[in-house]
Structure formats: C-alpha cells, structure tokens
Amino acid sequence: MNILKNISYFGFSTFLSRILGYLRDTLIAVFLGTSAVADALFVAFRIPNTFRSLFAEGSFNSAFIPAYAKKKGGKKNYFANQILNLLVIFILFIIFIIEIFAVEFLFLISPGFKDIDGKFDLAVDLSRITFPFLLFISISSFLSAILNSNGKFLITAAAPIILNILLILSLVLFHDSHIEIAYASSYALTLAGIIQVIFLFFFAKKYFKLNFSFIININKQVKSFFCKLLPSVFASGVNQINILIGTIIASFESGAVSYLYYADRIYQLPLALTGIAIATVILPSLSKEVFRSKLTKVNFIQNRSLELCLFLSLPATIGIFLAAKQIISALYGYGFFDSESVVNTSSALLLFGIGLPAFALIKIYSSFYFARGNTKFPFYLSLFSVILNVSISLTLFKNYGFLIIPLATSISAWLTVLVYQFNLIKSGNHSFDKLFIIRFIKSILCTALMGLILSFLLNFFSIELESKSAIKAIILISVVLFSAFVYFLTAYFLKAFRIKDLKV
C-alpha cells in the first residue's frame, strides 16, 4: 500500500470538506455571531458532532478493521452484518431515550442556559431535530470502515462534503431571522445524514451485502469487538470528549460556547490533515504487519507516521500562534461577529493551538495500540486525560473564565502524549530511529524559518488585515500560502522529508 498516496487522497477530500465547513461557519458567524441563538444551535450540534468525531475519525475503524481483516470470504460479510445489526439497535434505543428525556439531557450538557429566557428551550427543540443524526452517522461510520478496509479512503473522506453543502444551502435560503436559521440548519444536519448513508452504501455494496435483522446474535467474536469498541471510542475521541465537557462548563458564561465552537473549527483542519488522516490510513497496514509479526516494518511505519505528523503539525502550530487574531478576523469578522467576538475567539484558538501537535500525536499513538488489538491502555490513559482536564477547568474557571477550557485541554493532551511514548518505549513496541531524530531537527529548523517569514508578512500587511473589508481574507490566504511554500521548499533542500519512505 502507498501510504502517502492514500493520505493525499484522504487529506484532499478532508481539506475540501473543511473549506466548505469554514464557509458554513463564516455564514453562521455573519448571521448569528455569538448570540444566544448561536449558543443554542452549537449545543444542538455538539452531540451529533461529538458522535461524528468519535465514530468517523478513527474509533470505529480502530476496533473494526483489525477484526474484519482477519476474516476470510463469507465470514467477513456475516461478521459485518452482525456488527451493523447490533449497532443500529443500540443507537435507536439511545435516540429513543434521548428524545423522551431531551429536557433532562440538555440540562446535563448546558446547565448554564437555564438562566437565560428562551435559550434553553430553543436548545431542546433544536437538539430533538438533530438527535436522529446519530443513527445515520453511525451507519456511515460502519460503511466507511468497510471501504477503508478495502483501501477506498477517498470516498469516505468525501462523504462529509454532503453535510457542509446542505448546511450552506440552509443558511443561504433561510437567513431572514435568527430562529429560522437555527431550525433550518438543524433539519439540514439530519437530512445530510440520510444522504450520506445512501452515498456510502452505493460504493460499499461492492464489498458488503446487507442482511439486516432485529434478531440479536452475540457470539464470541461480536462480543470481543464491542468490548474493544467502547474503550476505542473513548480513547480515539478524547479530544472531542474534552471539548464536550468544555461546552458544558462554558454554558455558564454568555457567548463562551460560541467562542469555543468557532476556535475549535479552525484547528480541526490541520488536525484532520495530520493526526486523523495519518492514523486512519496507517491502521490497516500497521494491523497487517503486526499480525504477520514483522516488527522491523512495524517500527518503520510508526516512525514515518510520527515524522509526517510532526512535519505537518509544527508549522500549523506556529501559524496559529502568530496569526490567531488575523485568522479569526479574516474568516468570521463580519456582520454580527464583532471585535469582542474576534478577540475572545482568537484567544481560545491560540490556547487550542498550543496543543495541536499533541492532539495529532494522540491519534497516531492510539493507532499503534489499536493495531495490536490493545484498547485498554488508550482507554485508561484517555480517562486520565479527561479527569485532569475537568479538574483544571473546574478549579480555575471562576478565575480565568472560558479561556481555561482550551488551555486545560492542551495541557492534558501533552501529558497524554508523554505517557503514551514512555509506555511504548518501556514495552518495547516502539523506538525512535536515527532518521526520525535527524528529520525532526530539520523540521524544527524549517518551521523556525517559516515563522520568521510569516511574522514579517503579518506585520507588513497589518493595516490591511485589520480592515473591515473581505480583502483581508485574500491577503491572509496569500500570506499563509507563501509561508507554506517557503516551509516546503526549505524542507525539500534540507531533506526533512522524503515521499518514497511512505510507499510500503
């Protein structure tokens, strides 16, 4: 398998989806800003988005692909159908319970909304509309795992584009009032889930024959899968779980939910192109090599994936650190998104940016364990991360407000990375080779040069970037692209990265 080729396919589709996502979020910022309606909408989106991230961005793959890859012939399809049947029944039950107890459930995830007239009730109404999305995204994740197992990464990464297109259309067509926007976007989310399932099934039917039944048959293999899935969901989605908890805490501060949502959307692009893309693509190859006991090749894949992750995430981190305010202003600073919203959101983005390499590395490290069928250690480590994050946030929220939430998330992520690496080395499952160390140093040098160029350009165009005109977005994109060009050009001459290393 050519890992870089598949990462490129996955990354391109993900990049296109995230760009459309930025357009969607820009429209929401223009029409809703950081208002009470925006907070309610983002809470209604938070649970579906959390499930989407938990299932679609590696966790389902992590448990399913290693088990599925070991099956032969018709046993593959039988095993897959057993998993799908139980998954659908379980998710339907969850949706049924949540729809009945929506008020109580929303109070758990947005307790601060109760103090504002109409805000909590609107969040409940919107959430009841978006909850069915959980079923469709779960089925989509299952179909994506089937396709990923067969090397079809482009299709699975392209599926979220459907969601963003429908949400953009809903915003353009129904923007007469804040309430109308909120309801239209919520219905568009659920409709997008249905269309996404149809889209993925069209391609997956070549590899999977549906045989749905409400008869529950839990054998040893199915039980083993779900025992690994639950820890995997928690471990792979630790960042999203931290964000969800942050949303709960932030609900007590007006506008804070919106600030965190907009900031979260920005750093998710480099995260998707680094940690998520790499972890998703290497898992099938890594699982096969672990199964074959080819330890040299396993260590090679692990080192090159970490190398590529840092090669891509380090410049993104410096970019966020230097240009957080300009990024937020250029993307969202229009209409109802005022200067206070720009300052608060950019501050949150800066603190999230500190943890960006750690967020990406966690995705990679957890894949090393999932490929070996070990979901327990990532689960316990993720539980530690969540407890640490909550402890810091709750202890210091009164003194520092919502900004402690992204900072606590970054701190817990870096500690998680350190524990992962220590345990991998201690257990003998990973060792850094000389090539990794040399290229890591070169990547730092390239990042430093890029940072100097970016800092100079931001200062040179400071007046234009502070304007109210949309031209600032064009200028910022040009500055970022030129800085990225300098980075990759420098990396090429310093040989900080070689494409052929990922052709295995």
pLDDT tens figures, 271-328: 877 777 777 677 767 777 777 777 888 888 888 888 888 999 999 999 999 999 999 9
Neighbours of 385 (CB within 10 A): 26
Pull the structure tokens for residue 345: 């959101």
Spatial separation of the C-alpha atoms in residues 227 and 231, rounded to whole Å: 7
Cβ(298)–Cβ(289) below 8 Å = yes
d(C-alpha 70, C-alpha 66), whole Å:
7
For 438-450, b where at least 16 C-beta lie within 10 A, e where not — what string?
ebbebbeebbebb
pLDDT value of residue 49: 72
What kind and span of H or E run contains 77?
helix 74-100
The 10 Å CB-count burial string (b at 16+, else e) for 137-157 is bbbbbbbbbbbbbeebbebbb
Sign of CA dihedral 387, 391, 397, 400: negative
Alpha helices in 237-375 (DSSP H): 238-250, 256-271, 277-291, 295-332, 339-354, 356-370
Distance CA 401, CA 348 (A): 11
Q: Does the pLDDT at position 60 exceed 90?
A: no
Is residue 181 predicted with pLDDT exceeding 60? yes
CA 440/CA 432 separation, integer angstroms: 11
189 contacts: CB under 8 Å, gap ≥ 6: 45, 48, 129, 130, 133, 163, 166, 167
Confidence of residue 64 (pLDDT cuts 50, 70, 90): confident
| First CA to last CA distance, the chain | 5
- What pLDDT does residue 410 have? 94
Residues pairing with 503 in the sheet: 2
CB 288 within 8 A of CB 69: yes
Contact in structure between 36 and 178 (CB atoms under 8 Å): no
pLDDT in tens, 106-158: 888 888 887 777 888 898 999 999 989 988 988 888 888 888 777 777 777 77
Q: What is the pLDDT of residues 327-353, one digit of tens each?
A: 998 888 887 788 888 999 999 999 999
Number of CB atoms found within 10 A of residue 209's CB: 12
Cα angle: 354, vertex 355, 356; to 5 degrees: 100
Which amino acid is it at 341? S
pLDDT band at 504 (very low <50, low <70, confident <90, very high): very low
Compute the distance between CA of residue 445 and CA of residue 65 in angstroms, rounded to an integer: 37
Q: Is the pLDDT of residue 495 over 70?
A: yes
**Model confidence over 351-402: pLDDT tens digits?**
999 999 999 898 888 888 888 878 788 888 988 998 999 899 999 998 888 9
Give the residue-averaged pLDDT of 4-8: 65
pLDDT bracket for residue 62 (50, 70, 90): low
Distance CA 258, CA 29 (A): 9
Helical packing angle, 160-173 and 3-32, nearest 10°: 20
Contacts 24+ apart (CB under 8 A), 202-207: 203/147, 203/152, 203/155, 204/143, 204/146, 204/147, 207/146, 207/147, 207/149, 207/150
Contact 1, 504 (CB under 8 A): yes
Which of the four pLDDT bands, split at 50, 70 and 90, describes residue 9? low
Cβ partners under 8 Å of residue 448, min gap 6: none
Q: Which of 288, 382, 408, 344 is nearest to 1 (CA)?
A: 288
237 versus 255: which is more confidently predicted?
255
Stronger pLDDT, 65 or 345, i.e. the higher one? 345
In DSSP terms, 2 is beta-bridged to 503
Q: What is the largest CA-CA distance in the chain?
A: 67
Average pLDDT over residues 77-93: 84
Residue spans of the domains in the chain: they are 3-502
